[in-house]
Amino acid sequence: MNTSQRLDVTFAALADPTRRAILARLASGEASVMELARPFAMSQPAISKHLKVLERAGLIARGQDAQRRPRRLEARPLAEVTGWLVGYRRFWEGSFQRLDALLDEMKTPEKKRARKKR
């Protein structure tokens, strides 16, 4: 897949509230399919179908444990979508006052940018 095709499948995967909720859950750590299914009052097959879409987009991957086969969140597609959005920064940047706070938050990541002390 090229970048455009990856954006296609990533955006499509993100266009669903259950799949976004699964990602939100995985943002706080690995989880098995059973653990993922629990809060959604959904059958495991229904969840598995959503997981397949997320996996195809590279948004999740299988963790180490061969027994539990936990899923974990993968950064790359989120980074690519972010990269795409940066191209439209001048549009979204000025549109809301609350984005000011949001951008300030973006500008001061916890780690990493210690070299840029103000």
Which residues bind to a copy of itself, rule: CB under 8 A?
4, 7-12, 14-17, 20, 23-24, 27, 73-76, 78-79, 81-96, 99, 102-103, 105-107, 109-110, 112, 116, 118
- How far apart are the C-alpha atoms of 84 and 75, rounded to whole Å? 14
The phi and psi torsions of 94 (rounded to 5 degrees) equal -90, 0
- How far apart are the C-alpha atoms of 32 and 65, rounded to whole Å? 10
Cβ distance to a copy of itself smaller for residue 39 or 94: 94
- How far apart are the C-alpha atoms of 12 and 53, rounded to whole Å? 9
Tell me how far, at minimum, the Cβ of 82 lies from a copy of itself, in Å.
5
Tell me how far, at minimum, the Cβ of 8 lies from a copy of itself, in Å.
5
